[in-house]
Amino acid sequence: MKPGQTTITLKVSDKTREQMIEFFYDLRREKTPPYAVFQAIDGDTVVTLYESGKVVFQGKDADLSSDFWIETEKINSGHAETTNSNDKKKEDKPNKVIPIRINSIGSDEVGTGDYFGPIVVTASYVSRDNIDFLLDLKVKDSKKFTDDKILEIVPQIIKRIPYKTYILNNNDYNNTYANYNMNAMKAILHNKVLYEVKNMGYNYDYIVVDQFENPKSYFNHISKSNKKVTDIMFLTKAEDQCLSVACSSLISRYIFLKEMDKLSDSVGIKLPKGANPSVDEVAKKILDKYGIDKLKSICKYNFKNTSKIIK
């Protein structure tokens, strides 16, 4: 692998597979590696979909390119199975395990793979006293919740669980991306909400972040901040183990859905989630009706969808 490159692999369902085949049709290379359905060029990233259902993203912007499809796979199947070359943890080394009955602060984000809508990052504090309340709501299985279920139970959660949320709207995202890649943005936003919750003064045993890259890179992204949280445990699939991360995931999703409803009302069109070809069709309608400035105000303009739409 060349210096500065990242390799991310993703296991996709049949539905996501078909969406990728359609999305990358015009970006395919003529030559295809053995056992591959296609290989395509997505900006500075090479995307290879194999017959097994494994997708490999390799390049400088692999995190951005893969984020589209990680979020799409979560929508299609409820979860996404990924690996990242930046993670030094060996596959045969077990993930850290923490007890469920602890006082914890945890953070999670949504919207990073959605063309429309903001990025929403939340940190929550869960005390031992609230664990049974959350287990009764089945928060530990939050990845299985439908949007309707999230809209039903999150109002109960936010009345009882302390949290802080930051919403990075599309205008701010588009103005920021020239200086920060997606993982840098996420690290900065996670640090911001974690710092706010930590300084509420609650007693905690762990601060947990759902790991999206290796800790060294995470801390490098926040190195210039005067307000840093560094006593962090990074866990893969953290929402399965840590209720504060699961709460943050649900609250972020709830707020994201509310923000998407506002944006949909502003254009008179129901905005779809994800970044698949169906998103392009809606974006084309908005572009034709309102023009490029309106589209830019509700989308992540640097996503590859934009170049396909304008083309």
Tens-place pLDDT, residues 100-134: 889 999 999 999 989 999 999 999 999 999 999 99
Q: Is the pLDDT of residue 216 over 80?
A: yes
**CA atoms of 281 and 275, how far apart (whole Å):** 11
Q: How confident is the model at residue 230 (pLDDT cuts 50, 70, 90)?
A: very high
Give me the pLDDT at residue 66, please: 85
Q: Is the pLDDT of residue 260 over 80?
A: yes
Q: How confident is the model at residue 307 (pLDDT cuts 50, 70, 90)?
A: confident
With CA atoms as reference, report the closest residue to 2 among 67, 65, 85, 91: 85
Q: What is the mean pLDDT of residues 47-68?
A: 87
Give me the pLDDT at residue 296, please: 95
Q: Is the pLDDT of residue 141 over 80?
A: no
Give me the pLDDT at residue 44, please: 78
Give me the pLDDT at residue 267, please: 96
Q: Is the pLDDT of residue 143 over 70?
A: no
Give me the pLDDT at residue 188, please: 96
Give me the pLDDT at residue 203, please: 95
Q: Which of 38-42, 45-49, 84-88, 301-305 has the lowest mean pLDDT?
A: 84-88
Tell me if the domain spanning 104-261 has CATH number 3.30.420.10: yes
Q: What is the mean pLDDT of residues 57-84?
A: 82
Q: What percent of the chain has pLDDT over 90?
A: 61
Give me the pLDDT at residue 89, please: 41
Integer CA distances (angstroms), 277 to 14, 27, 98, 272, in order: 15, 13, 40, 10
Q: What is the mean pLDDT of residues 293-307?
A: 93
Q: What is the mean pLDDT of residues 29-39?
A: 89
Give me the pLDDT at residue 246, please: 94
CATH of 6-84 among 3.40.47.10, 3.30.43.10, 2.40.110.10, 3.30.310.10: 3.30.310.10
Q: Return the structure tokens found at 74.
A: 């979560």
Give me the pLDDT at residue 38, please: 93
Tens-place pLDDT, residues 190-201: 999 999 999 999
The residue assigned the tokens 């539905």 is 15
Give me the pLDDT at residue 91, please: 41
Is 242 within 8 Å of 235 (Cβ atoms)?
yes
Q: How confident is the model at residue 239 (pLDDT cuts 50, 70, 90)?
A: confident
Q: Give the up-direction half-sphere exposure of residue 129: CA atoms within 13 A in the CB hemisphere.
A: 7
Q: What is the mean pLDDT of residues 133-152?
A: 86
For the chain, first and last CA: distance in Å?
Answer: 32
Give me the pLDDT at residue 145, please: 87
Domain locations in the chain?
6-84, 104-261
Give me the pLDDT at residue 1, please: 44
Q: Taking the model in full, what pTM does it have?
A: 0.74
